[in-house]
Structures are given as C-alpha cells and as structure tokens.
Chains A and B, each alone.
Chain A
Amino acid sequence: MSETRTIAVTVNGTRHETTVPVRVTLADFLRHRLGLTGTHLGCEHGACGACTILFDGLSARSCLMLAVQADGHEVLTVEGIAPDGKTLHPLQQAFHDNHGLQCGFCTPGILTTLIELLRDNPDPTEEDIRIGIAGNLCRCTGYHNIVVAALDAAKRLRQMT
C-alpha cells in the first residue's frame, strides 16, 4: 500500500486535518478528497494552467504539488473567490458580463491567476494581462474577451477602493 501522512491544510478558510497518500497531488486532493472540483485538470504536467490555485497567496499549479506539501499552508481555489454563495467576485462578474468564457474549462485557472495579478498590479495594461495569462491555455475564446473581462475587472476593482 501507498505510504500516508496526516496533514492540516486550510482551504478557502476552512481547516482540514486528514490523512492522505504521500503520492497524491494537491489537485487530486482538492478534487477527490475535498470535493472541490472547480480546480480543473487539463494536462497534469504543468502546461495548461487549468489547475492553478493560490498557495499562501501565490499562484501555483496544483498538479505540480503534492498534497503533503500543503501541510500547514493555505490554499485558495476558485470556490473561495466569491464572498458568499450568492454574490460573484467582481472578477467573476466581469467575466460573466463580457462573455469571458465559453466552455469554462480553463476559467478557474484564469480567475485564480488574475486574482493574484490584479492584487499585485491593480492597473494593468492589455499586455500585462496577456503576459499574465500566457500560462493558461484556452481553446475556445481566442483570449479576446478574457482580456476584455480582465481589464474591466481591474477597472471595477479600482473603483471599489
């Protein structure tokens, strides 16, 4: 049998203490153990960006981390972005309003990536956005409305502060 470890990890503000096989990736832990299936797995080798989460506030590919490495750390997934179950985060609302998604598969990774980007750079240029999401593959949109939505979200977030 596979070796296991007990870990304590805070996901979207909730602390989970649980035992996991050491070889399980953080992405599979989030999806299978915690049922947080918003974190999508596209390539599982760090190329597509769909599984991007925030690890202690910094974007990371959850398919390239082991769940045991999250012991004692904080994870934010797409499920934790909105303030509550009824209200969308301004970034999510901007994606909704600007048709920033089609099939939606890449969206969780793009949203988490942009949460970090807009936090660190509240007034990004279009090029900043395009560079920022270069590690997220979208096969539907051609990125046009994703970029429009991100710029719109930046504007909305600036107006809120």
Chain B
Amino acid sequence: MKPPIFSYHDPRTTNDVVALLGSLDNAKLLAGGQSLMPMLNMRFVLPDHVIDLNRVDGLSFIREQNGAFEFGALEIGAMTRQRDIEFSDLVRQSCPLLHEAIAQVGHRQTRNRGTLGGSLCHLDPAAELVTVAAALDARLAVSGKNGRRSVDFSAFPVAYMTPALEPDELVTGATLPCWPAGHGYAFVEFSRRRGDFAIVSAAALIVEKNGKVTRASVTLGGLGAAPVRAHEVERALIGETIEEKRVREICEPLRKLDAIDDIHAPASYRQQLATVLARRALLKAYARIVAGAGS
C-alpha cells in the first residue's frame, strides 16, 4: 500500500498553516499521523495537499491556566504528544481523569506519535480523548483567517467524524477545566483487546459533600457519532449517597440511549455496556473519594 500522490508542506508557524489552508484546495492537516496515515495508505482519503504540523512551533505544551475557571484549568497544545500527557505530573495532579484515560489510548508506539489535537479533530466516536473532552466540558482554541475563537467541545462534533471547523481553521489547543481537589474520577472502557478503540467507554466525575453528591459528570463514548453526556443521570445523582443499588437504578435509563449497530456490536449490546460501565465508573470514582478521605 502506498499513499496517493500529494504535495507536502511543512510550515513553521500557525499563521503559515492558516495561510496554506486558505490558499490550497483539498488539503489535509497531518498531526501525529496515527489516523491520517492509515487512511492515506489505504487511500480512504485523497488529499491534493498534506500540511504537516510536526514542525510548527508553539503547539506542544501543557500548562496551568488561572483565572477564568473556579478550580483552574489545564491548557494543552494541539500537537502535544499523548506520551507527554501520559507522563505529565501536572496532568496526573490536575486532571486525573485524562491521566487514567490516556493510558488506554492505543499503545506505547502510537502514543509516542499521536497528539491530543489530532485525536479530537479526527473525532473517532470510540476515541478515549473525545470522551474525556466531553466529560470535562473542554474548550478548543481555533485559529483561522478571521483570527482566533473558542469552541465549546459540546458543539464541536457536527456529524460522524466531522468537527465544527471551517476549511481554513485549525485547532491549536484545548482548555480542560479542573475539578476541585478530592473529587472522584474514573474512566472505564470495554474493548476486545487492550489498546483497541473502545466499543463503549464511560467517564465519571463526582464531587461529594457530607455524604451527598453535589456535582456529577457522566459521559459515554462509542454509542454514536459523538460522546453522550448523560445529563439526566447527572441530575439524578445530585443529593444522592453513592451506593451500588442506588447507582444501578440511576444508571438504568442509559439502556434507552440511542446506539449504533455495527460489525463490532449490536445496539442492544452497546446499551447494556453503557448502563454497566457508567455504574462501574461512578462506583470507582466514589471509591477514590473514600480512599482519598482516609489517607
């Protein structure tokens, strides 16, 4: 297999990337290459131009962002390698959900190359990082010929594997709001083999005060074109005490979520997984709060 014929561009600045996107037709951005390269090799995509982001300055960083968010936020550059997120102490401390999820993204060989921005823009419905971005209400920084703008992740997937980007725009980074110290978190998934895309994944975040849940985020990946925030479950959890029987009841309506039916699993199987994995994620998140309080 060979990639099709294309022109290759390796700009050094974000402005140069925007200029290229504005002047070239049928161009594709090449980030870590862990999705685009297979599609080129198999000729699922036939771009006339490939714009390689790997030599663009200033798109790889992990830093704290203070100010706008109550509990702070992490800002991560679009070209930050998944490996660097995995081994970041800052991520482990400030965004443990991302830390837990990223170890389940592919394999060492793919995380060494794969990037945060590449995964979020590719928008594979089963991708772990897409589920995490939805769970955390991430905001994406986007640059285009009309300047910079911010996009809420909930508005980012517009269709199957289609991000809300204009042809001349690129994502330069993501802001991930932090949760308060002592929150519970868990990312659990079911895949047939380690490192595979998840058939269904679940991300849970909870804050508890005096034994009652005061804030919750429950997200399911792999059910459809975009991750699903289970807002009804989140609302139902508020004021509840986490224990298995009650969580089981609260998660039961997830069985009614729309789910895709494909070669990997029928819809009913995904709905069952959504129900079970959300429960497991919530119980695991709660167990972490208990363990944290005891230490």
Contact = CB atoms under 8 A, between A and B. Distances in A.
Instruction: Using C-beta atoms within 8 Å of the partner chain, give the interface range for chain B.
Output: 20 to 34
Interface stretch (A52-60, A91-99, A138-146): A52-60
Given A45-B38, A45-B42, A69-B52, A131 B194 contact: yes
A5 interface: yes
Contact of A59 (B1, B8, B52, B108): B108
A135 B8 contact: no
B109 A61 contact: yes
Interface in A1-56: 2-3, 5, 22-25, 28, 44-46, 49, 52, 55
Contact of A23 (B3, B52, B108, B113): B3
A63 interface: yes
A22 B8 contact: yes
B179 to A, nearest CB: 28
Interface residues of A, number: 31
A10 B42 CA distance: 28
A116 B108 contact: yes
Contact of A60 (B5, B109, B193): B109
Contact of A64 (B38, B83, B194): B38
A3 B4 CA distance: 11
B51 to A, nearest CB: 12
B7 interface: yes
B110 A135 contact: yes
B26 interface: no
B150 interface: no
B14 interface: no
A28 B2 contact: yes
Contacts of A2: 5
A77 B194 CA distance: 25
Interface string B1-19: 1111111101000000000
A66 interface: yes
B41 interface: yes
A66 B41 contact: no
Nearest to A22: B8
A49 B109 contact: yes
Nearest to A57: B112
Given A44-B1, A135-B195, A61 B8 contact: no
A46 B37 contact: yes
Nearest to A44: B1
B30 to A, nearest CB: 8
Given A45-B38, A69-B54, A116-B108, A61 B113 contact: yes
Contact of A117 (B3, B34, B108): B108
B106 interface: yes
Interface of A: 2-3, 5, 22-25, 28, 44-46, 49, 52, 55, 58-61, 63-66, 68-69, 113, 116-117, 131-132, 134-135
Q: Top 10 nearest A-B pairs by Cβ distance?
A: A135-B107, A45-B38, A22-B8, A64-B37, A58-B112, A134-B194, A23-B3, A59-B109, A44-B1, A134-B195
Interface of B: 1-8, 10, 30, 33-34, 37-38, 40-42, 50, 52, 54, 83, 106-110, 112-113, 193-195
Given A46-B34, A59-B108, A60-B113, 14 more contacts: A3-B8, A22-B7, A23-B3, A23-B6, A60-B109, A63-B37, A64-B34, A64-B37, A65-B37, A66-B30, A66-B37, A113-B108, A135-B108, A135-B109
18 contacts: A3-B7, A23-B4, A25-B37, A25-B41, A44-B42, A58-B83, A59-B109, A60-B113, A61-B110, A63-B37, A63-B41, A64-B113, A65-B33, A65-B113, A66-B33, A66-B37, A66-B52, A135-B106
